[in-house]
A and B are shown apart, each in its own frame.
Chain A
Amino acid sequence: MKNREFDNIFDESLERLLVKGESLEQCLERYPNQAAELKPLLETALVAREASTIQPRPDFRARARYQFRSALKETAVGKGHTSWGWFPRWATVMAIVLVLVLGGGGTVAAADSSMPDSPLYSVKLATEQVRMTLTSSQIGKARLCAELADRRVTEIAYMAGEGNTGQVEIITQRLDRHLALLTVAVLAQRGDEAPMLMAPPGEAAAPSETPTTDKAPPEAALAPQPGKAGGGSDDSTQNVNQAQLRDTLVSDAARNRAVLNTVLDKVPESTKAALRRALAVSEDGYEEALEALK
């Protein structure tokens, strides 16, 4: 019985330390009677947590993605959109209506600058999701992914400053997905390979509805669509679009690296590992995208 009680206390302390971002000292203060026994275990857990920063090598990730895509093509019987083709449009329209009716444009505007600890943050994510759904061109999707990645880095810096390790990790996963989708959109726009994660330009009528980058509920209002710009069919337009995107990404990568490194020196020790992971994800993600633009 005593063991079970301690197992529960240990698990709760782990949640506070690793997910909620509390410091070791804060966790120990909650259980003064068990502090002596908890301390070495929580310290070990922090070391074990470093394993969550393990990442696949970029070249392996790219190779694996390519192999998987090939296998996927061979396996697929059809495009698979037929029976679900109605769903994205329906869901999108419902999401827009819901937000306009329930929240109104003001809510969406306010949500746009909200941080993850704000009640409006889910509206922000939903808005982004709808923007992605409504962006049909690959260059537009790439630009939007870049913009969203930029937002995520700002949020990571903010939450790291608050010492909220759990949120830093969650947002880092979103950042990773934005940057992965950015690379795929770049490849698809170049026409080097068939797009895997997004509907091909010719199938823009059936855009992705399911959240590709975030876990937000499908509710949002219309927002400006940077993706509508560009996506021209002639080579010169495409080259200009790619050059602009490249400049944006080079600038974003440098700025975000500087932001995260600056924060890294200021955050509590318990948040540093998560922030380093965010830095690694940011570095690798931009590198992959820029490589795809070469």
Chain B
Amino acid sequence: MQDEESLVRRAQKQDQEAFAQIYEEYFDRIYRYITLKIGDAVEAEDLTQQVFLNTLRSISSFKWRGKPFSAWLYRIAHNQVVDYLRKKKRTPAPLEETLVSGSDNPQRAAERKLDIEQVLAAARHLTGAQREVISLRFTSDLSIAQVAGVMGKSQGAVKALQHSGIVALRKALSVTKNEE
């Protein structure tokens, strides 16, 4: 986001408009990130909302230390997910119809929904770090450098996790398809 620093500083000064822009910029990405991390689109809704409420409460404590604001925001989302997974054990809800809407072709929409459901199911077989990298790269469109910033790892380590994560995902996807 261009001028992200000035936008965040304005938000820290209680500028509602600046905060609202941050919200619009990141809302969908944080939602997708959480959905892939927990594999439950409905539960992800509450968690996403909580992330932004927490951000609103704590943004005054954010300090620029060479890392982008997004790294801090995804850290809040990550902690929210960890907290959720620690407290709750439940079967993920199926994808809502509207979640993958947007196509006039019902067959195409159904195929896409199936693909996403399989990816969400397969992602549960990944290690925590692999899932983190795949979520950040494929749902939030972060670069390797940005993911490295969020996770506090080197770019080389992130690339290695990306590779092993896709390998694991492929394996899990083939198992899912064979079970059908």
Give the interface of A toward B (CB within 8 A): 3-4, 6-8, 10-11, 14, 40-41, 43-45, 47-58, 60-61, 64-65, 67-69, 71-73, 75-81, 83-84, 169, 176-177, 180-181, 196-199, 208, 210-212, 215-217, 257, 261, 273, 276-277, 279-284
Within the complex, the shortest CB–CB distance from B100 to chain A, in Å, comes to 6
Which B-chain residue is minimally distant from A181 (CB atoms)? B24
The distance in angstroms between the C-alpha atoms of A277 and B102, with both chains bound, is 7
**Contact yes or no, A64 B27, CB < 8 A:** yes
**Contact yes or no, B138 A51, CB < 8 A:** yes
11 examples of A-B residue contacts, CB within 8 angstroms: A7-B159, A48-B169, A56-B48, A72-B20, A79-B16, A80-B10, A80-B18, A83-B13, A197-B24, A198-B17, A217-B2
Within the complex, the shortest CB–CB distance from B137 to chain A, in Å, comes to 8
Within the complex, the shortest CB–CB distance from B134 to chain A, in Å, comes to 6
Give the interface of B toward A (CB within 8 A): 1-3, 6-7, 10, 13-21, 23-25, 27-28, 31-32, 35-36, 41, 45, 48-49, 52-53, 56-57, 96, 98-104, 108, 112, 115-116, 118-120, 134, 137-139, 141, 144, 156, 159-160, 162-163, 166-167, 169-170, 173
Contact A44 B166, CB 8 Å, known A4-B156, A84-B10 = yes
Question: Which listed residue, B10, B100, B173, touches A280 by the CB 8 Å rule?
Answer: B100
Instruction: Chain A residues near B17: list those with CB within 8 A.
Output: 80-81, 196-199, 208
Which B-chain residue is minimally distant from A73 (CB atoms)? B16
Within the complex, the shortest CB–CB distance from B135 to chain A, in Å, comes to 8
Instruction: Chain A residues near B57: list those with CB within 8 A.
Output: 75
- A14, A48, A212: which has the most chain B beta carbons within 10 Å? A48
**Contact yes or no, A280 B45, CB < 8 A:** no
20 extra A-B contacts, CB within 8 A, seeds A54-B41, A54-B99, A210-B10: A4-B156, A6-B163, A44-B166, A48-B134, A50-B119, A51-B35, A52-B32, A52-B139, A53-B102, A53-B112, A54-B31, A54-B32, A55-B102, A57-B96, A78-B14, A197-B21, A197-B24, A210-B6, A276-B108, A281-B102
The distance in angstroms between the C-alpha atoms of A8 and B163, with both chains bound, is 9
Which B-chain residue is minimally distant from A280 (CB atoms)? B102
Per CB-CB distance, the 6 closest pairs between chain A and chain B, nearest first, are A280-B102, A80-B15, A7-B159, A44-B170, A50-B115, A215-B2
Contact A177 B23, CB 8 Å, known A68-B52, A68-B53 = no
Instruction: Chain A residues near B27: list those with CB within 8 A.
Output: 56, 61, 64
Within the complex, the shortest CB–CB distance from A62 to chain B, in Å, comes to 12
Contact A40 B16, CB 8 Å, known A48-B119, A52-B139 = no
Chain B facing A: main interface SS: helix
Contact A7 B162, CB 8 Å, known A68-B49, A169-B141 = yes
Which B-chain residue is minimally distant from A3 (CB atoms)? B160
Question: Which listed residue, B10, B14, B118, B141, touches A77 by the CB 8 Å rule?
Answer: B14
**Contact yes or no, B101 A284, CB < 8 A:** yes
Question: Which listed residue, A14, A49, A64, touches B48 by the CB 8 Å rule?
Answer: A64
**Contact yes or no, A276 B159, CB < 8 A:** no
Which A-chain residue is minimally distant from B156 (CB atoms)? A4
Question: Which listed residue, A76, A196, A280, touches B14 by the CB 8 Å rule?
Answer: A76
Question: Which listed residue, A4, A40, A77, A283, touches B160 by the CB 8 Å rule?
Answer: A4
Which B-chain residue is minimally distant from A40 (CB atoms)? B170
**Contact yes or no, B103 A10, CB < 8 A:** no
Instruction: Chain B residues near A197: list those with CB within 8 A.
Output: 17, 20-21, 24
The distance in angstroms between the C-alpha atoms of A56 and B30, with both chains bound, is 10
Instruction: Chain B residues near A261: list those with CB within 8 A.
Output: 104
Which B-chain residue is minimally distant from A59 (CB atoms)? B98
Instruction: Chain B residues near A44: list those with CB within 8 A.
Output: 166, 169-170, 173
**Contact yes or no, B7 A53, CB < 8 A:** no
**Contact yes or no, A211 B3, CB < 8 A:** yes
**Contact yes or no, A51 B36, CB < 8 A:** yes
**Contact yes or no, A177 B16, CB < 8 A:** no
Within the complex, the shortest CB–CB distance from A81 to chain B, in Å, comes to 7
The distance in angstroms between the C-alpha atoms of A45 and B3, with both chains bound, is 32
**Contact yes or no, A71 B56, CB < 8 A:** yes
Which A-chain residue is minimally distant from B159 (CB atoms)? A7
Instruction: Chain B residues near A208: list those with CB within 8 A.
Output: 17
